[in-house]
Amino acid sequence: GQNIDQPTEMTATEGAIVQINCTYQTSGFNGLFWYQQHAGEAPTFLSYNVLDGLEEKGRFSSFLSRSKGYSYLLLKELQMKDSASYLCAVRDRSTGGFKTIFGAGTRLFVKA
Amino acid sequence: SAVISQKPSRDICQRGTSLTIQCQVDSQVTMMFWYRQQPGQSLTLIATANQGSEATYESGFVIDKFPISRPNLTFSTLTVSNMSPEDSSIYLCSVVTLGELFFGEGSRLTVL
């Protein structure tokens, strides 16, 4: 089976940097995603890592270590609009198909 | 990217009735999935909609309760059968295009 762990909530200050961690266990790892979801809206894609290392995209960066089953999402220069849930998701192919399993999400509160 | 249209966007249903949600994609896609997001929760995969064959259901979900059709590579339906208040949730259609998982806007169902 799969298991994905991330913190339930985090609070950070506008303009600061925040790192949201995610650990996972899966037998058929085929990539890790980060999504942002504002209340009442569908999730929107932020990043995809399949190889080890850091992927940078503007104010958002995502890191992956496959040997450690670990990823983080780094948000720089936080803005109030970054207050949202951040979902870590793992693509798994152990059952013969490809499916993406989501963690419980981390609710980020950005304060002034 | 893929443009995914879901209908209805929201509905209020009576206990014991059934509702079919439609998902239309603007391009042919191999993989389509149905997720459920209960209030305050993350996304839970219901099933993979397979074109031309029966859907593949995740643990805890059965075809009698959530029948799925996938007549072609751009369209799928999910039916929520014999609804109860516990089925009140957002149901999301998603597709994989160029390695990324995209979501429709979701169908918010409230069961009274």
pLDDT confidence band for A95 (50 / 70 / 90) = low
How high is the pLDDT of residue A98? 78
- Spell out which residues of chain A touch residue B96, defining contact as CB-CB under 8 Å: 98, 100
Contact B92 A99 (CB under 8 A): no
How high is the pLDDT of residue B4? 95
Of A95, A100, A103, the CB nearest to B101: A100
Question: Measured between CB atoms, does B61 come within 8 Å of chain A?
Answer: no
Secondary structure letter of residue B85 according to DSSP:
G
Cα B37 to Cα B24: distance, rounded to the nearest angstrom: 20
Contact A43 B96 (CB under 8 A): no
What are B89's two structure tokens? Answer: 């949730």
Straight-line distance from the first to the last Cα atom of chain A, in angstroms, rounded to the nearest whole number: 41
Secondary structure letter of residue B99 according to DSSP:
T
Residue with the larger pLDDT of the pair A106 and A2? A106
Tokens 């925040």 sit on residue: A18
Whole-number Cα distances in Å, A75 to A48, A62, A68, A89, A106: 15, 9, 21, 17, 13
Give the 3-state secondary structure of residue B15.
coil
How high is the pLDDT of residue B31? 84
Secondary structure letter of residue A68 according to DSSP:
T
pLDDT confidence band for B74 (50 / 70 / 90) = very high
E-strand stretches of B8-88: 10-13, 19-25, 32-37, 44-49, 56-57, 68-72, 75-80
Cα B82 to Cα A23: distance, rounded to the nearest angstrom: 37
A39-87 pLDDT, tens digit per residue, is 989 999 999 999 999 999 999 999 999 999 999 999 999 999 999 999 9
Give the 3-state secondary structure of residue B3.
coil
